[in-house]
Amino acid sequence: MGVRHGLYCLGCCWALMTLLFVVGVTNLFWVAVIAALVLVEKAVPAGPWAGRVAGLMLDSWGLWMLVVSQHTVKPIAVPPNPPGGVNARLPWSRASAGPAPVCAEAW
């Protein structure tokens, strides 16, 4: 019975479990917000409507974030290769240092 109940919970709530894991790793405040939303949805008589309103608000917020991010985020510019190749700036590269330095101390 326990395995069957666990599989049922996993099947119906996998998205919530994934969301709680991802959000819980980053910020416990959002876990509390999601828990309060689930509590309202389960305990209040108008819970199904509260869940629908919250879902509509979150969907609208997500779409708004997509639209705004398309206009505010600049694409990443890749700098051109420096003269002498991509390793020219590395201290151990012969392209940047010329001849190899000579050690003053003898072994």
Q: What is the pLDDT of residues 33-49, one digit of tens each?
A: 888 988 998 898 988 89
Domain ranges of the chain: 28-69
- Provide the 10 A C-beta neighbour count for residue 84: 12
Cα–Cα dist 62/56, whole Å: 10
Q: How many residues does the chain have?
A: 107
Task: Give me the chain's average pLDDT, please.
Answer: 76
Q: Using an 8 Å Cβ cutoff, are 95 and 85 in contact?
A: yes
Sorting pLDDT into bands at 50, 70 and 90, what band is 97?
Answer: very low
Q: Under DSSP, is residue 76 helix (H, G, I), strand (E, B) or coil?
A: coil
Output the pLDDT for position 59: 93
Q: What is the pLDDT of residues 55-94, one digit of tens each?
A: 899 899 989 988 887 777 666 666 666 566 655 555 555 5
State the pTM of this model: 0.47
Q: 81 or 28, which is more confident?
A: 28
